[in-house]
């Protein structure tokens, strides 16, 4: 099949492109390289079935494809808050353009949505039936509301134009190919520990997150796209093992024993969700999927990846 991956040079997209090539598909990686990186896809360049297009999804695209994975969008709060108007455009105009492409080519299309559609949730763990608690005018809204609107568009194209859609809601995911300065908690803590800098916990560190290793995410993405039981989602994907941010900081320090870093506490950003943990009952039932990689195993691989950046600097 000819498969388009928007945001293909980013963290998740680069893993997806690699896996699709391994399965012998033709892969078109589309990216404007805002947060993505050519290094992430360098090893794929030799493959004749791999093609890269520099393009911004907020503009229409005319190509022929069988499947579309729509990932283009900065995912880290630091990056999506850098140019919030563009973030909303990427979510909304990007979705409209890619849905239009899917409509014209009759391609199946999967949306990389997010646990942020639940906002700062009052329901714990979060099930897909929960509609969320999102601030429409805060600093996270460009991303949260943008992604919510993208879900609306996907379901309206499904109802109105009978498009073959899939929607997954991704909870915090980590692994190699993350941007070392993207400001997300895993990359921050590991880079800080490797460079003997202070480990910056925002707030008192009691807020929780559940961390999914990227390989588990790629498994469910492909299962979701190719399922034959008519299940379109939305479906949660994440690792239900929940950690406080303080526990995460301690785990990272334990795994980098040579680090001289100390934990410090900084102000909690506005609207930072207090707790987050996916209920993955639906993914198990409909797709027979559950994550297999525990935090310690995933962190080991991620730390090894980040060491390369620090070693280069030395
Ligand atoms: P990332 O920032 O590493 O990747 C996003 C990619 O999209 C980058 O390569 C970037 O250059 C590209 N991009 C941004 N704007 C674009 C535009 N206008 N046109 C074309 N390309 C553009 O982030 P990621 O972690 O790989 O996330 C991928 C997708 O998964 C995103 O849609 C994100 O919202 C979603 N997601 C990720 C997580 C996570 O924890 N990683 C959680 C929830 C949802
Ligand atoms: N966080 C932190 N220190 C950092 C970066 C993040 O304490 O250096 C916290 C952040 O406030 C949030 C959690 O870690 O509570 C996860 O943040 P991230 O930016 O990775 O993603 P989010 O889940 O908030 O979108």
Q: What is the pLDDT of residues 81-128, one digit of tens each?
A: 999 999 999 999 999 999 999 999 999 999 999 999 999 999 999 999
Residue 234 Cα to chain centre, angstroms:
15
Position 80 scores a pLDDT of 96
For ligand 2, atom 14, name the residue with the nearest CA: 185
Ligand having the closest approach to the CA of 6:
1
Mean pLDDT confidence for 131-152? 98
Q: Residue 162 — pLDDT band, cuts 50, 70, 90?
A: very high
* Spans of all domains in the chain: 2-174+213-240+274-292
- With a 6 Å cutoff on the Cβ, whether 10 touches ligand 1 is yes
For ligand 1, atom 29, name the residue with the nearest CA: 71
Helix, strand or coil for residue 225?
helix
Strands 26-31 vs 50-54: parallel, antiparallel or unpaired:
parallel
Q: Looking at the predicted structure, is the pLDDT value of residue 72 above 90?
A: yes
Q: Looking at the predicted structure, is the pLDDT value of residue 312 above 80?
A: no
Point out the catalytic residue in the list 69, 80, 143, 157: 143
Residue-by-residue DSSP string for 94-123: HHHHHHHHHHHHT-EEEEEEEGGGGBS-SS
Q: Which residues contact 159 (CB under 8 A, 6 or more apart)?
A: none
Q: Looking at the predicted structure, is the pLDDT value of residue 314 above 60?
A: no
Q: Where are the alpha helices (DSSP H) in 195-294?
A: 214-226, 245-255, 281-287
Position 239 scores a pLDDT of 97
Ligand 2, CB cutoff 6 Å, lining residues: 76-77, 172, 184-185, 188, 200-202, 207, 209, 245, 269, 272
Mean pLDDT confidence for 75-80? 95
Strands (DSSP E) found in the chain: 2-6, 26-31, 50-54, 67-70, 108-114, 165-170, 173-174, 199-202, 208-210, 212-213, 235-237, 242-244, 263-266
Residue for token digits 């997209």? 13
- Rounded CA-CA distance 151/130 in Å is 14
Q: Cβ(160)–Cβ(153) under 8 Å? A: no
Q: CA torsion, points 115, 125, 131, 208, in degrees to nearest 10? A: -50
Q: 184 CA to middle of ligand 1, Å?
A: 13
Report residue 202 as tokens: 């925002």
> What is the best residue among 4, 8, 72, 276 to mutate for testing ligand 1's pocket, by most ligand atoms within 8 Å of CB?
72
Q: What percent of the chain has pLDDT over 70?
A: 99
pLDDT in tens, 223-262: 999 999 999 999 999 999 999 999 999 999 999 999 999 9
Position 74 scores a pLDDT of 97
pLDDT in tens, 256-301: 999 999 999 999 999 999 999 999 999 999 999 999 999 999 999 9
2-174+213-240+274-292: what CATH class? alpha beta
Ligand having the closest approach to the CA of 198:
2
Mean pLDDT confidence for 129-151? 98
């Amino acid at each position: 099949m000819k498969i388009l991956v928007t945001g293909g040079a980013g963290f998740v997209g680069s893993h997806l492109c690699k896996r699709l090539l391994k399965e012998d598909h033709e892969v078109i990686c589309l990216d404007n390289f805002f947060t993505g990186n050519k290094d992430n896809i360098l090893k794929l360049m030799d493959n004749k079935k791999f093609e890269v297009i520099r393009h911004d999804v907020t503009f229409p695209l005319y190509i022929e494809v069988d499947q579309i994975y729509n990932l283009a969008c900065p995912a880290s709060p630091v990056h999506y808050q850098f140019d919030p108007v563009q973030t909303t455009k990427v979510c909304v105009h990007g979705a409209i353009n890619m849905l239009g492409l899917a409509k014209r080519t009759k391609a199946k299309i999967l949306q990389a949505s997010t646990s942020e559609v639940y906002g700062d949730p009052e329901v714990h763990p979060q099930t897909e039936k929960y509609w969320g608690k999102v601030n429409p005018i805060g600093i996270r809204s460009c991303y949260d509301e943008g992604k919510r609107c993208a879900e609306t568009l996907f379901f309206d194209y499904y109802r109105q134009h009978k498009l073959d859609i899939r929607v997954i809601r991704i909870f915090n995911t980590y692994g190699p190919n993350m941007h070392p300065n993207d400001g997300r908690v895993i990359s921050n803590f590991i880079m800080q520990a490797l460079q003997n800098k202070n480990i910056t916990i925002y707030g008192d560190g009691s807020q929780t997150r559940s961390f999914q290793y990227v390989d588990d995410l790629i498994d469910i993405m492909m299962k979701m796209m190719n399922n034959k039981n008519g299940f379109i989602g939305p479906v949660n994907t994440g690792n239900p093992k929940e950690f406080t941010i303080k526990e995460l900081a301690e785990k990272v320090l334990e795994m980098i024993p040579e680090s001289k870093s100390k934990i410090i506490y900084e102000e909690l950003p506005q609207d930072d969700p207090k707790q987050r943990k996916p209920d993955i009952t639906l993914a198990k039932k409909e797709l027979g999927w559950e994550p297999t990689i525990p935090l310690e195993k995933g962190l080991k691989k991620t730390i090894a990846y980040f060491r390369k950046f620090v070693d280069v600097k030395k």
